[in-house]
Amino acid sequence: MQTHYNEIINSFVDKYGLSRGQVVAEIEKTFSAMLSRWYGTGTVVLFGDDYHASSALCQAVRYSFAKSA
């Protein structure tokens, strides 16, 4: 049986009393931290909904800041 991301997000909303936006923000923050450690550089994850396809869009953007002298 396949569990869709909406079901997972809704379970966190119900279990912890968070808003959907708060759950998505926590997912983004957690994935960003994990990928930053994995790649050894700053990484920002953006999570979006595609309600029509019942799928999620997840983008990861790596970044680095030049150190000033």
User: Which ranges constitute the DSSP H helices of the chain?
Assistant: 5-16, 20-39
Kindly list the distances between the CA atom of residue 43 and the CA atoms of 5, 11, 17, 33, 64, in Å, as whole numbers in the listed order.
22, 27, 28, 7, 9
The predicted pLDDT at position 17 comes to 95
Is 9 a domain residue? yes
Domain residues for 40?
A: 5-63
Rounded (10°) angle between helices 5-16 and 20-39: 110
pTM above 0.85, yes or no: no
| Neighbour count for residue 23 (Cβ, 10 Å) | 19
Is 15 a domain residue? yes
Dump pLDDT digits (tens) for 28-53: 899 889 988 988 888 888 876 554 44
Q: Is the pLDDT of residue 3 over 70?
A: no
Please indicate whether residue 18 or residue 40 has the higher confidence score (pLDDT).
18
Is 33 a domain residue? yes
Number of domains in the chain: 1
Is 40 a domain residue? yes
Express as a percent the part of the chain with pLDDT over 90: 25
Is 30 a domain residue? yes
